[in-house]
Structures are given as C-alpha cells and as structure tokens.
Chain A
Amino acid sequence: MRCLLVVASLLLGNAWPVLAAEVTVHLDDGRGHAVSDAVVMLIPDAAPAAAAAPPAPATHVVDQRDETFVPYVQLLRPGDEVVFRNSDSTRHHVYSFAAIRTFEFVLRPGESSPALVMDKSGIAAVGCNIHDHMITYLFVSAVPAIALSGGDGNATIGHLAPGRYTAHVWHPQLHPGHPQPSQSVTIGGDADIGHLDFTLSLMPDPRMFMDREHLDY
C-alpha cells in the first residue's frame, strides 16, 4: 500500500509540477498606514510556455451594510458573476455606467440582485442613486497572477513559475493620469519567496461613511 502511494505521488508530481514560489507585496501610504483594497498583478516579462486553464466562473457577493458597499474592491475573472445584496434596513438603487457593463438594480431591505455576468475585462465603478456617498469597484481581469491587499496591506501571489515579472498596482484612490506604480521581481526557483514594497500616494477616500452630523441628501 505504501508503495502504491509513493508511485502515485511521483506520477502526480510529474504530471503537475508543484509551484511553491510566491511573491508578497506590502503597500503603505507613506505615513505608516497599510493600504487595503489594492489590486496587485504580476505580469511575466516573457510569454509563459503554456497558458494555464482559466478557473471555473465564480459568483461573488457585494454586500451593502450601513450604507456602505462591502467590499470596497471586488476582484473578478471575465465570466464571473456578481450578486449585490442589501443587508441594510433601507432601499438601495445599485447602478453603474461603466464602459464594460451598465446595469441598475433597485434592492429592498434583505433583497439580492440577480447574478450579473461580468464578461469583459476592465473596471466598473458602482454607486447607489439614492445614497450618493456609496461606491464600490468591480475589477475584472484575466491576469492569472492577481491578488487584493488585505487590511494589513499585504497581497500574496503564489504558484509562480520561475521567471522575471513586473508587478503592477491599481487602487481606486491613485491619482488619475499618474503612471501606474510598478516594480520588477525575479523568481529564480520553484520555491523562491519574493517580497516587494510599494508606497502609494492616495487621494482622499471618496466614501462618506454614515455620520449623524453629515446627512448628505
């Protein structure tokens, strides 16, 4: 039995080489604050030998809580679906006039929208026509090596093949018209661990969180 397991492991290893290399990217705002909701993409400088099969389409949920979209940025692959859920006790009118997809949903409290297929790459800013201070972004990309930074400002991209990559960063509050932040990183072996640091100059947060003093009608 033990022999069978060893043989099977070798066979599987030959068929699907384990890529344990990864790159961790840390993002801060230059004032010691971690930057969350930044999209990090690793683009190989040379074309990969064989394109990996795209993952199966997934369905993502963008919630609305306390008149705030959660999350602020949602990553999607082309073909993925997004559902907007209203967890507030008030109505929302979700809409977008983005070039990649226009849509609108009126959602009563507790209601969810039908699944919306996002089949084009690009960025869709999504708002609420009743509450103008609400905004979220759908980032649709076919780039295989992609991740979103968390609350600690870290984004980790794993399963990388050896080679030289360029890391690109996008965030909703980057200054429009400025060059997209990017850095190069080289993965020498299957188990390499790379690390990059980005300091982003961000514009003010466009979201106005619920505040009793500022009514924003």
Chain B
Amino acid sequence: MRRRIFLCCLLGLYVPAGLAQDFKLHAWLDGRLVAAPAETSWTHGGLGKTRFGGGGVDARFGGAGVVGTAQFTPALMALASVQWQDTDYATLDTIEAYLRYRPVSLSRWRWSLQAGAFLPPISLENDAIGWTSSWTLTPSAINSWVGEELRATGAEGRLEWRGDDASWELRSALFQRNDPAGNLLAVRGWSLSDLTYGLGSRLHEPDAVVRRNGGQPPGRYDPFQNIGHRSGWYANLDWRTSVGGRLSLMRYDNRADPAAHSDSGVFAWHTWFWSLGASADTGPIRWIAQAMDGATVIEPVDGLQFETRFRSAFLLAGWNRGAWRPALRIEHFSTRELAAAVGTGQGEHGNAVTAALNWRPRDWLRLSAEVLRIDSVRKQRVEAGLAPASAVTQVQLGVRLIY
C-alpha cells in the first residue's frame, strides 16, 4: 500500500488537482519515413545496430508522449514523462517520474532533493522533450544505451554553487531497480537507436543469444527491476561557465550482485563506468563530446565470472542557425570480453557517422533529415550465419509535432 501511494505521488495523481497550483502539459508526436538497412534490427531480435531494419522504405511511427508537471508549492514540483512506442511491440511506459524539492536560497549555495525514477545526468545531447536530442534523430551509442538500460529509482541530492563566472553542481544518488543494466552491452553490444525504454517496458535480447541459452525467441527482460538487495550509486560533478562551456564527470556503479538472479532467470549485472562530457560554443557552433569507459560482470555459476569491458566516445558539431540546425557526429564504440571468461570472444568494435539537418519553421513543428552510417565488426554475427563485419546506412526523414 505504501508503495502504491508513493507511485501515485510520483505521477501527481494522489494529490488532488485543486491542491496543485500549476499544471503544465507538453506533448510530442513523431513520424518517420525510413530507408532501413537490410539487417534485422536488434529491436526485432537481430544483431543490427539501428532502430529500424529489414530493408525497404517505409513510413514508421517514431513515438508519442506526454510530459506533465505540477508545481505543488514554490519549492515542490512533480514531473512525469510517459510515451507510446510500437517499434518492438506496442507499449505505454514511463520514461521518468519524480518529485523535486528545491527551496529558494538567498546565498550562492542551493540544494535540492529529487526522489522517484529518473535518468542519470549523463547525456549532453538529449535536452529535448521526451529525452530526445535536438540535434539528431538518433543519439550517440552512449546515450542510446543510457535510454535503453539506465534508470535510477531512488533519491538524488544536488548541491550548487553559483558564481559570477561559473557554477558548480554536485549530484549524487542512491538507487535500486537497475540490476540488469549492462546485460544489453554484453549480449548485443552497442546500438545507435532513439528507442528510449521506460518503466514497464521490456528489452529485446538477440534471438541468437536466446537460442544459444536454450530459450525460444523472442526473449525479453525488464531492465528496471531489483535482483538481490543491493543499492547502486552515482556521483556527478558539473562545471558550467558563463561563456557556455560545460564539463561533466560521473562515476556510476549499480553494485548489483552478479550471482543474483530473478525467479524468471534474469541475472543481475554488476556494472560500473566513468563518463566524461564537455560542451562549448564557438560562435554559432555547439561542440559536444562524451566518453564512457566501464565494465559489466555476471556470475552465472559460483566462482565463474564473465566480464565485458565497454567504451565509446563521440564528437558532435551542431550549427545553430536559428530555425535551421545542421549537425555532424562521429563516434567510436567497442566491447571486449575478457579471454578467460568466454572462449569465443564476443567483443566488437565500430565507428559511426551521423549527419542531420533540422528545420523548425514553426515553434510546434520540427522537420529532420538524417543519414546514419555504421561500420562495425562483431564475431557474434557468425552465430546468426552472418559475416562478422557489417556496414549499414539508415536514412530517415522525420516530422515531429510539439505541443
């Protein structure tokens, strides 16, 4: 019962509407025309790294969502972001839902507390409604994975120092319900996909992996669940200058018990990483760079651990020309399984280039064109009867209506 009341509070449903003094609703609806690569997308059990696969040129549903906020008091706000997706299977899920308490401070220091389910503050790209990117349709490999498998359910404290030339912000959280995080990087590898998963959705494992483990595809799992009784944490230090520069450093560790598993056989993956991000403006050009380096470990049998190292980095240049915003991003990604862990070595490495052109002729309308090229090598493809090397191109024309 207590848990139900807590969840209702997070969604702003438990407090009668009359008590909240400010409600706001925002929404988006996204449609695409997609020229998809021939390889089956990971969202349909394949090993393709793009959101769409199977070849051909088709109209696709990009997604729809609603973001609601309620300002209960000047210091207390609730936010819930809900989306509808049908790329993998039709699902209505919650991207984020949290309460934030931020009292006013009449000094340079300000603190706040946030509780609920929220995304760790990793992405410097995903600054638009529904945790989308305002520069490209497809986020980088790093932020694709963040949207797929990372969600903190717990509490986050923030401490800010607001100077004349720069401001500092330290954020740290204790969280649960993210114990399977890392599984996807190990069994599938990186992806470049704007399919953000929410609470209540299920991630698709590659069919080849499901069959190898004796299962019958499709194999799906809930990445946002407790397995074992450990809490994870992250700490993020953010530095922003008044000239538009930003530097962000994070350490994340879900502290999952790699030997623990759920009744349905989903294992906890102990995942930790460093994340470094920077952004700066040179005239109308916005530069964004992020790097991530970490590992994830599973222990399916006592004393036998499989460890997968992962790393990725990208550099994005976006040209802010008012209504027109072209962007170009290059990136590298890799995973490596320790040789002692898996004899076949299922690691991967690859590069990607994304070129996008965005046009906002109206405040409520965004038109985008994007070309995404991915070159990668993954030995796991051999299991599915494919060549280990893959070079794919995905082209999208997108229309987004924003309320």
A interface residues (Cβ-Cβ under 8 A, vs B)? 90-91, 93, 95-97, 102-104, 106, 108, 129-130, 175-177, 203-204, 206, 211-215, 217
Q: Is the CB of B106 within 8 A of A213?
A: no
21 contacts between A and B (CB under 8 A): A90-B24, A90-B71, A91-B22, A91-B74, A95-B104, A95-B106, A97-B162, A130-B77, A176-B242, A177-B165, A203-B242, A203-B244, A204-B244, A212-B26, A212-B403, A213-B366, A214-B128, A214-B129, A214-B134, A215-B26, A217-B100
> 1/0 per position for B112-155, CB-CB distance to A under 8 A?
00000000000000011100001000000000000000000000
Q: How far apart sit A103 and B105, CA to CA, in the bound complex (Å)?
A: 10
* Chain B contacts for A130, CB-based, 8 A: 71, 74, 77
Cα A1 to Cα B67 in complex, Å, equals 76
Question: Using Cβ atoms and an 8 Å threshold, which residues of chain B touch A217?
Answer: 69, 77, 79, 100
A72 to chain B, nearest CB (A): 15
The secondary-structure label for the interface of chain B is: loop
Contact with A along B77-114 (1 / 0, CB 8 A): 10100000000000000000000101111111000000
Instruction: Return the chain A residue nearest B364 by Cβ.
Output: A212
Indicate if B21 sits at the interface (CB-CB under 8 A). Answer: yes
Query: Footprint of A on B, CB under 8 Å?
Result: 21-22, 24, 26, 67, 69, 71, 74-75, 77, 79, 100, 102-108, 127-129, 134, 162, 164-165, 242-244, 281, 360, 363-364, 366, 402-403
A106 touches B164 (CB 8 A): no
Main SS class of interface, A: loop
Contacting residue for A206 out of B21, B165, B242, CB 8 A: B242
- Chain B residue nearest to A95 (CB atoms) is B104
Verify A97–B107 contact, CB threshold 8 A.
yes
Given A176-B165, A203-B242, A214-B127, A102 and B106 touching (CB < 8 A)? yes
What 3 pairs across the A-B complex have the smallest Cβ distances? A129-B104, A212-B402, A102-B106
> What residue of chain B has the Cβ atom nearest to residue A217's Cβ?
B79
CA distance A102 to B107 in the complex (A): 8
A97 contacts which of B67, B108, B243 (Cβ < 8 Å)? B108
Closest A-chain residue to B403, C-beta based?
A: A212
Residue of B nearest to A177 (CB): B165
Contact A129 B74, CB 8 Å, known A212-B364, A212-B403, A214-B134:
yes
How many Å from the CB of B236 to the closest CB on chain A? 17
- Residues on the B chain within 8 Å of A104, using CB: 104, 106
